């Protein structure tokens, strides 16, 4: 095993700024809202855990909480794309980044499964979000849209043709369970994966180790992050 170079040693001791306050705020608001929606939704539809809904005051209150949080979640997404604040600007930039999928992103995404389970394969320098993260984000966007649209159809069922409502129920449930599986994978990467868990610091403080940024997002590190370095 080779000894680290001088530049590598320096990077180990430095931090770079990865996530702004706006980005972190949007992340946590949507994350908490999704967990609450998932829990209340399962409570309404799953007989086995319905007794637990007494903590909210019963099934009807749980259903109302689900709907209120759904509206706030939807409003938050809309504001995130049309607002003028820092969080909205960063969210628009995130959306633009993740739908810009080039050959370097594809080269990373096709081996994402290997990386997910702790393996390593060489990949081209990545931007602020690598190919695997972009693919996950695009799936999340589509899944969220399906959940939101089908959810409002179920809520407004008396005003909508019944054949559409009948399709909305299984779509809503299937997408919610699929998104829950994505959430579990997201938590695994953030909390347990030996390479990716360093990013966890960033979603709390905004800062990540420069070495981590260079190894996983070399293009972004050289073009932007390097200018934000702090540390000895």
CATH number of the domain encompassing residue 24 = 1.20.950.20
Do 209 and 20 meet the contact criterion of CB atoms below 8 Å apart? no
Q: Does residue 232 fall inside a structural domain?
A: no
Q: Does residue 123 fall inside a structural domain?
A: yes
Domain span holding position 193: 6-226
Q: Does residue 194 fall inside a structural domain?
A: yes
Average pLDDT for residues 175-197, to the nearest whole number?
Answer: 85
**Is residue 5 over pLDDT 60?**
no
pLDDT score for 23 = 82
Residue in 191, 220, 187, 190 with CA at minimum distance from that of residue 16: 220
Residue in 136, 104, 132 with CA at minimum distance from that of residue 119: 132
pLDDT in tens, 63-95: 889 999 999 888 888 887 787 877 778 888 888
What pTM did the predictor assign? Answer: 0.82
Mean pLDDT over each residue of the chain, to the nearest integer: 85
pLDDT score for 123 = 87
Q: Sorting pLDDT into bands at 50, 70 and 90, what band is 232?
A: low
Q: Sorting pLDDT into bands at 50, 70 and 90, what band is 3?
A: very low
For residues 224 and 52, the model is more confident at 224
Q: Does residue 32 fall inside a structural domain?
A: yes
Q: Sorting pLDDT into bands at 50, 70 and 90, what band is 7?
A: low
pLDDT score for 41 = 86
Say how many domains are in the chain. 1
Q: Does residue 231 fall inside a structural domain?
A: no
**Is residue 47 over pLDDT 80?**
no
pLDDT score for 12 = 57
Q: Is the CA virtual torsion 107, 125, 192, 137 positive or negative? A: negative
What is the per-residue burial (b if ≥16 Cβ within 10 Å, else e) of 21-43?
ebbbebbeebeebbebbbbbbbb
**Is residue 149 over pLDDT 70?**
yes
Tell me the percentage of the chain whose pLDDT exceeds 70: 94
**Is residue 204 over pLDDT 60?**
yes
Q: Does residue 145 fall inside a structural domain?
A: yes
Instruction: Determine phi and psi for 15, rounding to 5 degrees.
Output: -120, 155
């Amino acid at each position: 095993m080779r000894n680290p170079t001088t530049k590598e040693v320096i990077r180990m001791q430095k931090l770079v700024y990865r996530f702004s306050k706006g980005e972190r705020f949007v992340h946590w608001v949507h994350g908490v809202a999704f967990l609450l929606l998932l829990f209340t939704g399962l409570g309404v539809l799953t007989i086995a855990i319905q007794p637990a809904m007494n903590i909210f005051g019963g099934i009807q209150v749980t259903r109302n909480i689900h709907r209120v949080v759904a509206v706030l979640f939807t409003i938050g997404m809309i504001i995130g794309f049309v607002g003028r604040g820092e969080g909205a600007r960063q969210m628009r930039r995130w959306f633009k980044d993740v739908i810009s999928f080039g050959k370097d992103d594809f080269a990373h995404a096709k081996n994402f499964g290997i990386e997910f389970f702790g393996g390593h394969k060489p990949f081209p320098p990545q931007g602020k979000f690598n190919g695997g993260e972009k693919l996950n984000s695009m799936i999340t966007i589509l899944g969220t849209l399906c959940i939101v649209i089908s959810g409002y159809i179920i809520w407004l069922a008396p005003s909508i043709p019944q054949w559409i409502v009948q399709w909305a129920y299984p779509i809503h449930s299937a997408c919610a369970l699929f998104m829950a599986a994505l959430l579990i994978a997201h938590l695994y990467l953030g909390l347990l994966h030996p390479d990716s868990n360093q990013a966890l610091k960033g979603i709390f403080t905004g800062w990540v180790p420069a070495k981590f940024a260079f190894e996983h997002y070399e293009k972004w590190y050289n073009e932007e992050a390097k200018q934000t370095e702090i540390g000895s």
